Amino acid sequence: MTEQEQAALPFGLRPVINAAGTMTYLGASRVAPRVIDAMSRVLPAFVNMSDLQRRASRVIARATGGEAGCVTASAAAGISVAVAACMTGDDLYRIEQLPDTLDGKSEVIVQKGHVVGYGASLSQAIRLTGATCIEIGAVSGCAGYQLRGAINERTAAVVYVVSHHTVQTGMIGLRDCCAMAAEYGVPVIVDAASEYDLTGFLAAGAALAIYSGHKFLGGPTSGIIAGRKPLVRTCYMQEKGIGRGMKVGKESIVGAMEALEAWLARDADAIRAAEEARIARAEQTLGALEGMRVFRIADPTGNPIVRLAVAPDPLRCGLDASALSRLLAAGEPSVRVRAHEAELGYFQLDPCNVTDEEMDVVCARIAELVRGERSKTSGAAPTAPTPADAALADLLRWPD
């Protein structure tokens, strides 16, 4: 972040350097100027909202290869809305009655290894509609007979999650899942909130695919639902029911549309090269520190991102990965790293949301802390609560 940008932060907010990735708790993404511009042009005007969503549908269809699309408040909202659509169809009476499912379709099947938390639980996003979440298999594996066995006349949909959060092995693959569900006429909804691939999940047979507008797409907080036209229509119709509290304003719809256009027009190779250069520099700087091991980790779901794992040896650095990440977060500016795997002895630096200058600051701060701690301690690793504990404590104190 440049000094100008820091100075521009409103209401005395502390600046944050985000080496964690695209995190909603850090404000998701840096919205691109052309997206901000499109949003500010629509804000002072009145528009016919269903016309706007109709236009959004066309942009989403072009970007995803789906027949139609609509914009909702977030990907999490998109999951609830998509599940509701599969339960009610276009029956307005049923739409009004949710979460009372009457005698209609009320079960949603999810592989147990896909029941993730993304800050809230996937299961809750499903159950919010009144549906029962039927978890199949085990975290160690799920087989076709378990999917087939769980499907019955009450089955509204299968929800399939593509994410680094899921169990990455032993699950039924998307293509097989869609093929099996199709035999019973059951639609598959893919939660692809954080995925770069806008076309592959629908191409693999998903009825609906859901994306975050504010993650890689770099748009405003929003969710994008794409897929089969009748189902997308019934998603949009949920605004007459449980989707009411999940709808977005004109600015976010336009912002999501413009972010999709910007994404389609981006120079992916140039962006990738810049990210790679940032990682290479950090690898060199941090790898040279005594007691520090660095290694690269490719994104587990195939997003074209390589992150740098930073693994301080607690005995030689005086700090473990968790303590180091908390000290980085507590500094000025606050440096946030990807620490959800700190129990494994490392955190990751994500190159997508930092400038080159910011990455240099991150490396300098790590070097400083490691040297400082080493001179202060006799080598014992501090016992620290996890970053998740720290976040929870912060929530319980809020708004103080």
Ligand X SMILES: *Cc1c(COP(=O)(O)O)cnc(C)c1O
Two tokens, residue 200: 């592959």
Nearer to ligand X, 137 or 223 (CB): 223
Taking the complex as a whole, the smallest distance from the CB of residue 212 to ligand X amounts, in Å, to 3
Closest distance between ligand X and the C-beta of residue 3, in Å?
A: 30
194 binds ligand X (CB under 6 A): yes
Name the amino acid, one letter, at 315: L
Q: Report whether 150 contacts 132 (CB < 8 A).
A: no
* Residue with Cβ nearer ligand X (49 or 116): 116
| Closer Cβ to ligand X, 146 or 163, answer by number | 163
Amino acid identity at 317 = C
What span, in angstroms and rounded, lies between the C-alpha atoms of 211 and 3?
32
- 121 contributes a contact to ligand X by CB under 6 A: no
What 42-47 contacts at long range (C-beta under 8 Å, 24+ apart), as own/partner pairs, is 42/250, 42/251, 42/254, 43/250, 43/251, 45/250, 47/250
Number of chain positions touching ligand X (CB under 6 A): 14
Smallest gap, in angstroms, from Cβ of residue 22 to ligand X? 8
Q: Give ∠ CA 189-193-195 in degrees, rounded to 5.
A: 105
Alpha-carbon distance of 363 to 349, in angstroms, equals: 10
Binding mask 219-258 for ligand X (x = CB under 6 A): ----x-----------------------------------
Measured in whole angstroms, how far is the alpha carbon of residue 378 from the centre of its chain? Answer: 40
| Closer to ligand X by Cβ: residue 118 or 347 | 118
Smallest gap, in angstroms, from Cβ of residue 303 to ligand X? 11
* Contact assessment for residue 79 and residue 114, using Cβ atoms and an 8 Å cutoff: no
Under 8 Å between Cβ of 329 and 313? no
Which of residues 107, 191, 320, 358 is near ligand X by CB under 6 A?
191
CB of 275 to ligand X, least distance (A): 19
List 53, 111, 212, 325, residue binding ligand X (CB under 6 A):
212
Task: Give the whole-angstrom CA distance, residue 156 versus residue 283.
Answer: 48
Site for ligand X in 18-37 (CB under 6 A): 24
Give whichever of 111 and 194 is closer to ligand X, judged by the CB atom.
194
53: contact with ligand X by CB under 6 A? no
CB 161 → ligand X: shortest distance, Å?
A: 5
Output the smallest distance, CB 96 to ligand X, in A: 25
Residue closer to ligand X, measured from CB, 73 or 366: 73
Binding positions for ligand X, 130-189, rule CB under 6 A: 161, 163, 165
Q: Which range of residues in 35-43, 71-79, 199-207, 348-356 is near ligand X by CB under 6 A?
A: 71-79
Q: Which is nearer to ligand X, 178 or 323 (CB)?
A: 178
x-marked contacts with ligand X along 310-349 as a string, rule CB under 6 A: ----------------------------------------
Q: Is 297 left (phi over 0), alpha (psi -120 to 50) or beta?
A: beta
**CA pair distance 370, 366, nearest whole angstrom:** 6
Nearer to ligand X, 97 or 303 (CB): 303
Q: Which stretch binds ligand X (CB under 6 A): 191-199, 256-264, 267-275, 351-359?
A: 191-199
Alpha-carbon distance 73 to 382, whole Å? 41
Asked if 35 contacts 219 with a C-beta cutoff of 8 angstroms, the reply is yes
Give the angle 138-141-143 at the CA atoms, nearest 5°. Answer: 100
Residues 6 or more apart whose Cβ sits within 8 Å of residue 209: 64, 66, 189, 190, 192, 198, 201, 202, 225, 226, 227
Helix or strand or coil: residue 380? coil
Q: Contact residues for ligand X (CB under 6 A)?
A: 24, 74-76, 116, 118, 161, 163, 165, 191, 193-194, 212, 223
